[in-house]
């Protein structure tokens, strides 16, 4: 008989985009309703490159939430070719949880990203010294490399070498999408971890391209073949503490996504935990959802685990076609379709 409800320690989202301005209020509440904390990505326009900017952004998020039930945004710095060791020290002292590496041009708002990681060695040394993790968007930007191969090539060309040069550097390989990335992280030392999104666990690349083009399923790194999806499910549900929840919920206004050059990013915040529950339920491993969603990430970031709880109840509902988003709207993953679980907060 299938499990009808489960309770777990309140989860955290270790990779999230909250955007800025009026849109924050529309999307942050969806995350705060379920998750205790979230690692907030710094790819605003202009990017969040200093500790002062990150702390100001944190205040805008908290203001937009109006003090919603104990949600804690965990802030990150956007690495550029000019990030100094002094900025890293200031960030660590201010409670910033990591520095995000976007190879220049890899994804949305990454134009100011890093062009030469080797030239940043003193900054990376400061991160080692302060125990500040490097969060990587793991794709090469070389136009010669096929978009479906960019993650695997990144491992060889960038990730393995930087881990070799910096033996104390802690790294989160964000939103892994391939069996190559899973194998790399599983066999790497404990200082290397990875986040996995709901879309990469549930969908393969047919979900973007077969039977009509579905922009709501288009993100970067792009969805891959079925064999990669299966490797991700095995990693997420396998109990290895190196893998944890990171939605990469990345809302874009419908007008920007459904256009001649549509933005990359899937919006999942309101349904993310329910989507992960579907994945773990179909894998027959609901018993491992809590560790993936609520323990492994906190342990890696050396933060306490949450103490309050949420309940997932098997009770299908229909996901809206769109949610409000500033003066536009955002089309979520699974739009207009059924989802199997509902999330409730458990009163202490
Ligand atoms: C993200 C965004 O829109 O900010 N897009 C995405 O497809 N995941 C950027 C990112 O995390 O790559
Ligand atoms: Zn992201």
Whole-number Cα distances in Å, 257 to 133, 211, 253, 267: 31, 19, 6, 11
Contact between residue 250 and residue 14 where contact means Cβ atoms under 8 Å apart: no
pLDDT (tens digit per residue) in 38-61? 999 999 999 999 999 999 999 999
CA angle (113, 115, 118) in 5-degree steps: 120
* Interval between CA 183 and ligand 1 midpoint (Å): 23
**CB distance 250 to ligand 1 below 6 Å:** yes
Q: Is the CB of 248 under 6 A from ligand 1?
A: yes
Spacing, Cα 6 to ligand 1 middle (Å): 31
The phi and psi torsions of 40 (rounded to 5 degrees) equal -95, 125
* Ligand 1 closest atom vs CA 218: 7
- The reply to whether the predicted model has a pTM over 0.95 is yes
pLDDT value of residue 84: 97
* Residue 55 Cβ < 6 Å to ligand 1: no
User: Does 19 contact ligand 1 (Cβ within 6 A)?
Assistant: no
Positions in the chain short of pLDDT 70: 1, 68-69
- pLDDT reported for residue 69: 65
The pLDDT, as a whole number, for residue 3 is 81
CA distance 307 to 11: 10
The per-residue pLDDT for 108 is 72
Euclidean distance between CA atoms 285 and 236, whole angstroms: 10
Task: Give the start-to-end residue ranges of the domains of the chain.
Answer: 5-346
Long-range contact list for 87-93, CB < 8 A, 24+ apart?
87/49, 87/50, 87/51, 87/123, 88/123, 88/126, 88/127, 88/130, 88/132, 89/126, 89/130, 90/51, 91/51, 91/54, 91/130, 91/132, 92/130, 92/131, 92/132
Which of 107, 173, 221 is the pocket-test mutation for ligand 1 (most atoms within 8 Å of CB)?
Answer: 107
What CATH fold (topology level) applies to the domain 5-346? TIM Barrel (3.20.20)
Q: Which two tokens stand for residue 245?
A: 């929840």
Q: Please tell me the distance from the alpha carbon of residue 197 to that of residue 203, in angstroms, as a whole number.
A: 10
Whether the Cβ atoms of residue 79 and residue 119 lie closer than 8 Å to each other = no
Which of 69, 92, 56 has its CA nearest to residue 301? Answer: 92
Give the active site residues. Answer: 248
């Amino acid at each position: 008989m299938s499990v009808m409800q489960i309770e777990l320690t309140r989860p955290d989202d270790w990779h999230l985009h909250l955007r800025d301005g009026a849109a924050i209020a529309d999307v942050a509440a969806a995350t705060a309703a379920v998750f205790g904390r979230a690692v907030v990505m710094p790819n605003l326009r202009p990017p969040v490159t200093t500790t002062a900017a990150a702390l100001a952004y944190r205040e805008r998020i908290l203001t937009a939430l109006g003090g919603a039930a104990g949600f804690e945004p965990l802030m990150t710095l956007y690495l550029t070719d000019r990030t100094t060791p002094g900025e890293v020290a200031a960030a660590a002292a201010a409670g910033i949880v990591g520095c995000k590496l976007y190879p220049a041009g890899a994804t949305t708002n990454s134009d100011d990203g890093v062009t030469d990681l080797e030239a940043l060695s003193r900054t990376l040394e400061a991160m080692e010294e302060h125990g500040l993790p490097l969060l990587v968007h793991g794709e090469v930007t070389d136009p010669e490399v096929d978009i479906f191969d960019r993650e695997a090539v990144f491992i060889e060309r960038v990730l393995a070498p930087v881990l070799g040069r910096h033996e104390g550097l802690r790294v989160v390989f964000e939103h892994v999408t391939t069996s190559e990335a899973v194998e790399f992280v599983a066999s790497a030392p404990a200082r290397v971890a990875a986040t996995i999104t709901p879309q990469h666990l549930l969908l393969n690349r047919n979900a973007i391209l077969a039977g009509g083009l579905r922009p709501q399923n288009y993100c970067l790194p792009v969805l891959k073949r079925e064999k990669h999806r299966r490797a991700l499910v095995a990693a997420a549900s396998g109990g290895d503490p190196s893998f944890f929840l990171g939605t990469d919920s990345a809302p874009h206004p419908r007008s920007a996504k459904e256009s001649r050059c549509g933005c990359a990013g899937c919006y999942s915040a309101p349904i993310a935990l329910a989507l992960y529950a579907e994945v773990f339920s179909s894998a027959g491993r609901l018993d491992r959802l809590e560790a993936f969603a609520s323990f492994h990430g906190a342990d890696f970031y050396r933060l306490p685990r949450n103490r309050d709880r949420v309940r997932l109840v098997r009770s299908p509902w229909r996901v809206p076609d769109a949610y409000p988003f500033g003066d536009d709207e955002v089309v979520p993953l699974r739009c207009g379709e059924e989802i199997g679980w509902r999330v409730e907060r458990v009163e202490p």
